[in-house]
Structure 1
């Protein structure tokens, strides 16, 4: 799952277990990871600020998106630095600290999946149980669900640290495939905790799109055009637009993460198969890049987010301009 896979496969040919091997960082990989870390942290901080500042964005759906944004901020601020360190085998001779660092991205990825699943279920209730929605999906219930998803993600990510891991390599290097058991990554994490929720979400969105399409067709076939029907038609179109945007978030998550999980399957099920290093690097960078794309998608697809982002940028530019003017005036006074 992390950059440690690169190092472990790159040096597994002959002398990976050697005590005196020198591991050099991959410059391109490190630069790409640092860029993604910056974009992910800044972009998702903007998402959190936007929801906090704009009352129109304080919806149950967006509470779950904030949970997703927090996970992505942690990917940029915590998980990617850990991945860069484990790419060169750091920390050495500390199996438990190594496992903890390698488990961070698993926790955050699982939290993202649960947040996306919560969003899908919330949209399902909104479409199929509109009259019960206000009772079921209250802000309080949303917060409770978010707390539960983070606890579950934390426990799933800590499974390797609890004992489901390989023995520490004699070299002491913290490489992913030498420390984390691939049976955990493939059978438990991928098949059980990633693939099943993804399939459930795709089925949920398929039902949503079919139901909304049928409603639109029924209303189009009706000859009676009352104000109530027009209002309902506007609501359905809005629901369809929201569901489409959120489905794109899910689709991009699957596109970014599935390749790396498939590579993990090859590592476990076909140990003699050779995984090209450029392909592996691309899969790792792609998985981490998912944390940076959501704010861009919100800005592009959701008008309320786009307007709020523009207001935040304008505010920041005014603050920067103010400080520049103050500093210039200070220099003039001193001169």
Structure 2
């Protein structure tokens, strides 16, 4: 998902280790690919098969997991092959451009999916009455589709020939245009990240206000003793506490009593007003509710975002620094380390879901028991 290149972008590739092959990179790459495919595959499978996990937030998480799966299947094998060869690219330049395109697109899709989740959650908290919680709707489908369309738009210049510059070194697989490196880094990381963080802050402020209002409403309810709270209905019931019916009825001794039929039933006076029409109980006011499952999902999201920023911020800082500062010397070991750290993020998300979400954890445990 790195929005850039294999090690060696803008600098000489690291010399191959003795024997010409980096076995450690090969082993690490294979383990990483298996973890990403296994973890994110389970995420997709769990949401597709478990009814409890079919929430709108989890559909966005599936889109994020698909980006990580595609990374493991389409990008990492070629990246690991290049690392195994000591950073030297021995395949065709067309394949290199395809690798760079997928690399940029999948990284961009990941962060755009996180932004889409933040937009969706902000809408759920800010305008809950217009939010569909039961199933994914058109707005959410548009959000998910837009993330992938924009991600391809950011990456497409590479596959359409941007890398075909004069004197291109075919032994290096990298982004060749520094201006494009700056542009793609800004579009893929430095603009979406602040937007996403602002939306999450606003969302949690709104959620906090919603929780405070809910608690205040519960505290304001009257329960206990001989006092009961009733919803408006055609029948108004009042329990008598040692009082006669006429004493409780302000209209009993009036020359103009309120028209209605009075009935006593086990000490409870029931007054019906046939001429008044009330809406059915429970439909007089539409109420929005953020359920416990949604609140659990919201608590996981900051951890996912934090892990993404931790893994990818070093890469983008190094990446854009090398493009803007020609005199800066960044060791190839640093470039390789931050690139690997970014790819590790694709294996982290399923672990986060397992630790922080009991429903994901139960499904993963159930699947693992089938094979163990």
Structure 2-normalised TM-score? 0.72
The match for 1:198 is 193
- CA distance in structure 2 between the partners assigned to 1:274 and 1:61 by the alignment: 43
C-alpha contact 2:55 2:134 (8 A) present in aligned 1 = no
- CA distance in structure 2 between the partners assigned to 1:235 and 1:113 by the alignment: 25
- CA distance in structure 2 between the partners assigned to 1:23 and 1:162 by the alignment: 37
Query: Are the structure 2 counterparts of residues 23 and 150 from structure 1 closer, same or farther at C-alpha, using a change threshold of 3 Å?
Result: farther
- CA distance in structure 1 between the partners assigned to 2:361 and 2:288 by the alignment: 24
Q: Which ranges of structure 1 fall in alignment gaps of 5 or more residues?
A: 17-21, 318-335
C-alpha contact 2:107 2:188 (8 A) present in aligned 1 = no
Query: Are the structure 2 counterparts of residues 67 and 83 from structure 1 closer, same or farther at C-alpha, using a change threshold of 3 Å?
Result: same
The match for 1:307 is 362
Query: Are the structure 2 counterparts of residues 217 and 60 from structure 1 closer, same or farther at C-alpha, using a change threshold of 3 Å?
Result: closer
The match for 2:329 is 274
Query: Quick one: which of 61, 65, 68 aligns to 1:72?
Result: 68
Query: Are the structure 2 counterparts of residues 204 and 274 from structure 1 closer, same or farther at C-alpha, using a change threshold of 3 Å?
Result: same
Offset at residue 271 of structure 1 (A):
1.9
Offset at residue 52 of structure 1 (A):
1.2
- CA distance in structure 2 between the partners assigned to 1:226 and 1:50 by the alignment: 43
Query: Quick one: which of 229, 252, 264 aligns to 2:307?
Result: 252
Stretch deviating more after TM superposition (53-62 or 284-293): 53-62
C-alpha contact 1:182 1:264 (8 A) present in aligned 2 = no
Offset at residue 220 of structure 1 (A):
4.7
Offset at residue 206 of structure 1 (A):
0.4
Query: Are the structure 2 counterparts of residues 148 and 216 from structure 1 closer, same or farther at C-alpha, using a change threshold of 3 Å?
Result: closer
- CA distance in structure 1 between the partners assigned to 2:79 and 2:158 by the alignment: 16
Q: Greater relative contact order: 1 or 2 (C-alpha under 8 angstroms, separation 6 or more)?
A: 1
**Structure number with larger C-alpha Rg:** 2
Offset at residue 33 of structure 1 (A):
2.4
Question: Per-residue displacement from partner, 1:163-191 (whole Å, max 9, x unpaired)?
Answer: 33352545421331xx43122122x1111
Cα RMSD (Å): 3.0
- CA distance in structure 1 between the partners assigned to 2:21 and 2:109 by the alignment: 29
Offset at residue 201 of structure 1 (A):
0.8
Query: Are the structure 2 counterparts of residues 58 and 219 from structure 1 closer, same or farther at C-alpha, using a change threshold of 3 Å?
Result: closer
The match for 1:9 is 11
2:30 is aligned with 1:34: yes
C-alpha contact 2:82 2:89 (8 A) present in aligned 1 = yes
Offset at residue 197 of structure 1 (A):
1.2
Offset at residue 274 of structure 1 (A):
1.6
| Greater per-residue strand proportion | 2
Question: Per-residue displacement from partner, 1:31-80 (whole Å, max 9, x unpaired)?
Answer: 32222111011100000111111011112211111111111011112111
Query: Quick one: which of 190, 202, 210 aligns to 1:207?
Result: 202
Stretch deviating more after TM superposition (303-312 or 208-217): 208-217
Query: Are the structure 2 counterparts of residues 136 and 128 from structure 1 closer, same or farther at C-alpha, using a change threshold of 3 Å?
Result: farther
Structure 1-normalised TM-score? 0.80
- CA distance in structure 2 between the partners assigned to 1:171 and 1:299 by the alignment: 44
C-alpha contact 2:44 2:65 (8 A) present in aligned 1 = yes
How many residues are paired up?
A: 302
| Greater per-residue helix proportion | 1
Offset at residue 90 of structure 1 (A):
2.8
Offset at residue 300 of structure 1 (A):
0.6
- CA distance in structure 2 between the partners assigned to 1:290 and 1:145 by the alignment: 23
Stretch deviating more after TM superposition (141-150 or 51-60): 141-150
